[in-house]
Amino acid sequence: RAAQWQRGLRIFGEAPVEVAPDAYSLVAVASCCAAAARWEQALALALPSPGSGARSPSTVVFNAAAAACARAARWELCLELLDSMAQRRAVPDDVSYSIAIHSLGERGGCSQRWPLALALLSRRRPARLSAVNAAIAACCSASQWQQSCMLLFAADVADERDVISFNSSIAACERAWKWEHSLKLISDMDRRRLDPDVVSFTAAANACEQARQWSLALLVLDQLRARGLRPAVASLTVAARAAQRWEQ
């Protein structure tokens, strides 16, 4: 699909003036550009020049253009598209906000831009899970464990949290060496009938190991095996370090 963006644009551009491209054509071409990360071409479809006679792009076209910009790490353009939608009679949806928040984390940017991710999320209430998870991941990247946990348990979110939500928060606690909180989040997952996975247990064990809670780290990894999960390389590395230091 990504290889078809040039062909799609050529056909699109060769259409007779009297044949106005319909919404489906715009979406198809914009999606091809997004898949190929051709942000310049996708942006031109979403923001046609005044007087061009082009029809007003739909929300889906804007989202495709934003996705192309996000893949190219052009987060400023993602935010510009989000703000331009209202002026173009397109209504931002959950996908729009999720893409914009995700774009802030491209190439490690969330360590500085996590407040902007929270500001974007506050504009979408009630927030859907995809946008919330993107904001939690942004806080995790910046080691903002308190903000991450606040989002995890915020009341004004439309969906139940999932394993991805919890894993990002556990990872945030891991980065901040908050081993007690990482273990509590594992327990919270069990109470919500969410099955912690290898990522969950490994991050919690690593948080314990970093805080010199070596016996706890090994106990957490024992739970991983007891639940029939297969340890990852990272799990075995944590286990080896914890066992070695505990013996010392």
Average pLDDT over residues 134-157: 87
Cis bond leading into 126, ω under 30°?
yes
Domain assignment present for 129 = no
- The CA distance from 214 to 240, in Å, is 10
Residue-level pLDDT at 2: 45
Question: Per the structure block, which two tokens stand in for 59?
Answer: 């929300």
Give the model confidence (pLDDT) of 160-208 as tens digits: 889 999 999 999 999 999 999 999 999 999 999 999 999 999 999 999 9
Q: Minimum mean pLDDT among 38-42, 155-159, 238-242: which range?
A: 155-159
Name, of 19-28, 79-88, 141-150, 182-191, the range with top average pLDDT: 182-191
Using the predicted structure, report yes or no on whether residue 228 has a pLDDT greater than 70: yes
Average pLDDT over residues 217-232: 95
- Containing domain of residue 15, as a range? 1-92
Domain assignment present for 138 = no
**End-of-domain residue from the set 92, 112, 146:** 92
Average pLDDT over residues 121-145: 87
Q: Which residue has the tokens 């009679």?
A: 89
Residue-level pLDDT at 19: 40
Residue-level pLDDT at 3: 47
User: 223 or 104, which is more confident?
Assistant: 223
* Domain count within the chain: 2
Q: Residue 104: name the closest of 113, 95, 96 by CA.
A: 113
Q: What is the DSSP string of 2-65?
A: GGGHHHHHHHHHHS-TTS---HHHHHHHHHHHHHTT-HHHHHHHHSPPTTS-PPPPPHHHHHHH
Q: Minimum mean pLDDT among 104-113, 131-140, 207-216: which range?
A: 104-113
In Å, how far are 26, 45, 82, 190, 200 from 206, measured between CA atoms? 48, 47, 38, 19, 10
Domain assignment present for 108 = no
Domain assignment present for 137 = no
Whole-angstrom Cα Rg for the chain: 22
Domain assignment present for 58 = yes
Residue-level pLDDT at 5: 46
Name, of 10-14, 32-36, 103-107, 233-237, the range with top average pLDDT: 233-237
Domain assignment present for 112 = no
Largest distance between two CA atoms of the chain: 81
Question: Per the structure block, which two tokens stand in for 221?
Answer: 């990894």
Q: What is the mean pLDDT of the chain?
A: 82
Q: What is the DSSP string of 203-247?
A: HHHHHHHHTT-HHHHHHHHHHHHHTTPPPPHHHHHHHHHHHHHHH
**End-of-domain residue from the set 43, 61, 92:** 92
Using the predicted structure, report yes or no on whether residue 52 has a pLDDT greater than 60: no
Domain assignment present for 226 = yes
Residue pair 77/41 in contact (Cβ under 8 Å)? The answer is no
In sequence order, which residues have a C-beta less than 8 Å from that of residue 33 and are 6 or more positions away?
A: 5, 8, 9, 39, 41, 42, 45, 64, 65, 68
- The CA distance from 223 to 121, in Å, is 35
**End-of-domain residue from the set 92, 113, 146:** 92
Domain assignment present for 158 = no
